[in-house]
Structure 1
Amino acid sequence: MQWWRDAVVYQVYVRSFADGDGDGVGDLEGIRARLGYLELLGVDALWLTPFYTSPMVDHGYDVADARDVDPVFGDLATFDRLVADAHEHGLRVTIDLVPNHTSSEHEWFRAALDSAPGSPERARYHFRPGTGTNGAAPPNNWQSVFGGPAWTRVQDPDGGAGEWYLHLFAAEQPDLNWTNPEVWADLEKTLRFWLDRGVDGFRIDVAHGMSKPPDLPDTRDPRGGARDDARWDGSGAEPDPRFDHDGVHDVHRMIRGVLDHYPGRLVVGEVWIGDDTRFSRYVRPDELHLGFDFRLVRAPFEADAVRAAIEHSLAAVAAVGAPPTWTLSNHDVSRPVTRYGGGATGLARARAMSLVELALPGVVYLYNGEELGLPDVDLPDEALQDPVWERSGRTRRGRDRCRVPMPWEGGGPSYGFTAGDPWLPMPPEFGELVVADQLEDTGSTLSLVRRAIELRKSHPGFQGGELEWFGAPEGCFAFRRAGTTLVCALNTSTEPVPLPPGEVLLASGPLEDGRLPPDTAAWLT
């Protein structure tokens, strides 16, 4: 039995989880000190965002050395202790991999800049001559996801007219050329390096990236400025040549081939693909074990939209036998409390959606702070660090709003996250959401999520692999795990509705004389 098929995995955004050395930035020692909390929460595994050597232009997703730990986060010995201690707590550890690009400070890219056009050093990346007079225009019209052109021109070493290099993200994140055998060999080396250190799997960043069409054609719809939660949708009338090129599947087969030599190890991909059939190709039996399907993230708080998201996500994996993978948030998108309206209403809806998500068959990913009901934070301009802010000409505020550190205990300005000043300012309202207080409050969001995870693991009603839908009032739905007695009901309407028959196991908010209030979900059996 694959351990992940019904697991609850907790995403740790390493910079923002817990700071062990007091410099204001979360680190591996801080995570290690909080493993008891994660065990208490009841999750099965961790996903750590990148902690590798990096200039931190994109907070670690610009990797200069994929086989070492950046000093801001610790060192390899600290990582080894973290893995060993996590295993003692019954927690598996999965880590991020970033195969689409490197940092511009990577030794390969520095060598490419020092080498001539057509050199083997440049062949590891996408260097091309420009178009127009003297090659002064980019090779094509592709846009960076972070805003602006996806090409930057460099000066050639001999002083000649410079080539351009491709970067689908920041200019400091040049895309690797996945037709180059050296690139393949280096990723395999990285996979084995961490697997041999005991990691339990990987999350593949931009798993629908890597492969590019050989002719790098123009796109008719350069969607570099799409809002964060709709990036790389891929479901428009015109395919986006920047992503989901067929050659990417060969990369995933290679990754899977390596992992198959390490039994019990997981690979999950970040797959922003809106077409169910194309999504399903990523989780075929010889490719990724799991793929993030972001339909729940993109669905508004409306029963019909949520149901449609669930049904599409189930259909996308059914034909290939992979379990569905659910998430409501991560370090790239607005937090549910804010996304669903903010304030008390947004919190009530986020709590309800937590119960919906945890009732579903398959794998659930929680983002750190989601279990506390943290909202996005409206940060001042001077605090923003996400490259999206500058790359977009300060028109898009970026993702820092959902990356503010975890409040653990006590008062501001750091709420137990650090002995110093947190790398992003923490707002006064976090004082009402600290872990220590929520653990003592049986009505808190943390207590709700903890109890839901406990029931998910222990109650026989969570064993069915398919869903059966019931008739429900407008603005509501109810489903049952097939072959069981567990029912999940959600009310997104503006009026209370009768509860389905059964004994209430758990509700996201107070019930009203056998009725389910608006913005509330309940489990019944």
Structure 2
Amino acid sequence: MPSTDVWWRDAVIYQIYPRSFADGDGDGMGDLPGITARLPQLRELGVDAVWLSPFYPSPQHDAGYDVADYRGVDPRFGSLGDADKLIGTAHDLGLKVIVDLVPNHTSSEHVWFQAALRSAPGSPERERYIFRDGDEPPNSWQSVFGGSAWERLPDGQWYLHLFDVSQPDLNWDHPEVRAEFLDILRFWLDRGVDGFRVDVAHGLIKDAELTDWTAPSVILGGLDSVGPPPPMWDQEGVHEIYRQWRAVLDEYPGGRILVAEAWVQPEERLARYVRPDEMHQAFNFPYLEAPWSPAELRQVIDSSLAANETVGATTTWVLSNHDVVRHASRLGYPVGQGRRPGIGVEDPQPDAGLGLRRARAATLLMLALPGSAYLYQGEELGLPEHTTLPDEYRQDPAWERSGHAERGRDGCRVPIPWEADAPSYGFGPADASWLPQPAIWAEYALDRQVDVPGSTYELYRVALRARREHGLGAGSLAWLDSGPDALAFRNDGLVVLTNFGAEPVSLPDGARVLLSSEPLDADGRVPTDVTVWALL
């Protein structure tokens, strides 16, 4: 029987990028003991759950998204015992734990792929992956990281890798692949995890004919919202897989969940992933990518809520994660500029002050919306993108495969600061960090912001407490008339107003300010790029 525990419908979930959160042993790489030691501070912040990016054994060609063993812990991060302690500590603190699952591809060092390399074309070992014959690549598909999505072996066969060459795609039409992942789900559910964030959830099934596709194999946004989906994304067969997975999760108590990372448009197609017998949540990437514009934000909020309502699901809001430029920097560019795949010192730089001001306003707007919300580690500190990271330190495979045309995602993955005057800003006991931290990290450190009125950390902490007290996640949205340059709505007893325009905007008569992303002006009006929560 499915669990009646629906904690996830209005939860605030905090993403931990393990290598950059907290380093327990001083080797410069974050680890599970470091995370466990910092969990009380996340409880103090006020989140409901944590999601951990991959910590499995991996050669780390793509920061752990190239998994060599789905039932272990990479020694860089600790041991299975450390994972058990983390889960137990989190539960003792009242926090749920979601782990990443990467089912689209394995590492090329996975025992299955190594067996495939040792076996002949047409062998059962190769049937677990997508191998094809031919003098030329089987089709025109491109890797998300740049270049061809096909790699040729010395025996003449090609294998598909929609990501790095070290990440061969699995053949999800093979029953052995399906059975293996059902067992992996049970392995971690038996250890107490509360759910799985499913990487590239829309990519498992490919068009049977491997039809040519001349457009770039874009996954991180930019998918066309009209016409049929590309032959490598959002194929109908993925839904059968998730119905099987949901049946497994429903065997366990406590509301275990599946979360889709599915870059799918329009919202009506995304909503199909969260039908009652499939997944529980899907990240709302159209909302993340919406420009800082009242009309466009309102449109995506309305369409998201409407699409999810048709399947009885709540909407899952997000502004930052490990794959995109942090929103404190992204919003520091002129409105309407396109996606930036990373920022380097030679690129146009964001306006840091403007970006943080808008980011604070955007966060208050998001946290007031009904549904669930995800936060990315460090955003509660107001962390910007590291835009001056020296190129020689970049590790994202997109940097090399694009011929250094794309800066990649390293700038949002730099280890976060906890203590301004400590080695590695409190990330670990030594100065080492796997990516160098900028000197400006000191001013964002947690110990510089705790109990400091007006700090970004305190804004988040107060907002999360008020969100819970006023039931905003479980509430409902009703738009109010606010003119063309603002957004205003009621969520039950709370009025939320964001001013995008150049002129101050007045609050409704009788409104009592509960929380504001920046101070109001001398006349009690809402200035530019400010969000206010008020009680009537």
Give me the TM-score of the superposition, normalised by structure 1: 0.95
Kindly state the Cα deviation for residue 419 of structure 1 after the two structures are TM-superposed.
2.4
Kindly state the Cα deviation for residue 138 of structure 1 after the two structures are TM-superposed.
0.7
Is residue 2:124 matched to residue 1:165? no
Q: Work out the CA distance in 1 between the residues paired with 2:468 and 2:302.
A: 23
Paired letter, 1:108: W
Is residue 2:94 matched to residue 1:104? no
Paired letter, 1:260: D
Is residue 2:93 matched to residue 1:81? no
Residue 435 to residue 463, structure 1, CA distance change in 2 (3 Å): closer
Is residue 2:9 matched to residue 1:18? no
Contact in 2 for aligned 1:471/1:478 (Cα 8 Å): yes
SS of aligned partner of 1:214: coil
Is residue 2:434 matched to residue 1:430? no
Contact in 2 for aligned 1:6/1:362 (Cα 8 Å): yes
RMSD after superposition: 1.3
Contact in 2 for aligned 1:356/1:490 (Cα 8 Å): yes
1:60 is aligned to: 64
1:159 is aligned to: none
Unaligned runs of 5+ in 2: 333-350
1:357 is aligned to: 366
Correspondence 1:308-457 to 2 at 5 A: 308-341=299-332, 342-378=351-387, 379-411=389-421, 414-420=424-430, 421-457=432-468
Paired letter, 1:298: E
Residue 164 to residue 329, structure 1, CA distance change in 2 (3 Å): same
1:98-124 CA-to-partner distances (Å, cap 9, x unmatched) read: 000000000000110111111100000
2:284 is aligned to: 293
Select which of 491, 497, 503 maps to 1:489.
497
Q: Work out the CA distance in 2 between the residues paired with 1:338 and 1:427.
A: 15
Q: Work out the CA distance in 1 between the residues paired with 2:27 and 2:114.
A: 30
1:47 is aligned to: 51
1:206 is aligned to: 200
Q: Work out the CA distance in 2 between the residues paired with 1:448 and 1:164.
A: 52
Q: Work out the CA distance in 2 between the residues paired with 1:234 and 1:323.
A: 24
Q: Work out the CA distance in 2 between the residues paired with 1:99 and 1:367.
A: 22
SS of aligned partner of 2:449: helix
Contact in 2 for aligned 1:141/1:222 (Cα 8 Å): no
Kindly state the Cα deviation for residue 239 of structure 1 after the two structures are TM-superposed.
2.8
Paired letter, 1:508: S
Is residue 2:185 matched to residue 1:191? yes
Kindly state the Cα deviation for residue 464 of structure 1 after the two structures are TM-superposed.
5.4
Contact in 2 for aligned 1:412/1:428 (Cα 8 Å): no
Contact in 2 for aligned 1:413/1:426 (Cα 8 Å): no
Q: Work out the CA distance in 2 between the residues paired with 1:249 and 1:45.
A: 26
SS of aligned partner of 1:191: helix
Paired letter, 1:409: E
Q: Work out the CA distance in 2 between the residues paired with 1:267 and 1:238.
A: 25
SS of aligned partner of 2:426: coil
Is residue 2:463 matched to residue 1:467? no
Paired letter, 1:407: P
Kindly state the Cα deviation for residue 413 of structure 1 after the two structures are TM-superposed.
6.1
1:145 is aligned to: 144
Residue 387 to residue 75, structure 1, CA distance change in 2 (3 Å): same
SS of aligned partner of 1:37: helix
Q: How many residues align?
A: 508
Q: Work out the CA distance in 2 between the residues paired with 1:103 and 1:299.
A: 33
Give me the TM-score of the superposition, normalised by structure 2: 0.93
2:216 is aligned to: 222
Paired letter, 2:359: A
After TM superposition, where is structure 1 displaced by more than 4 Å over at least 4 residues in a row? none
Contact in 1 for aligned 2:105/2:168 (Cα 8 Å): yes
Q: Work out the CA distance in 2 between the residues paired with 1:71 and 1:463.
A: 38
1:53-97 CA-to-partner distances (Å, cap 9, x unmatched) read: 000000100000000000000000011011111111111111000
2:37 is aligned to: 33
Unaligned runs of 5+ in 1: 157-161
SS of aligned partner of 2:162: coil
Identity of aligned residues (%): 56
Kindly state the Cα deviation for residue 440 of structure 1 after the two structures are TM-superposed.
2.9
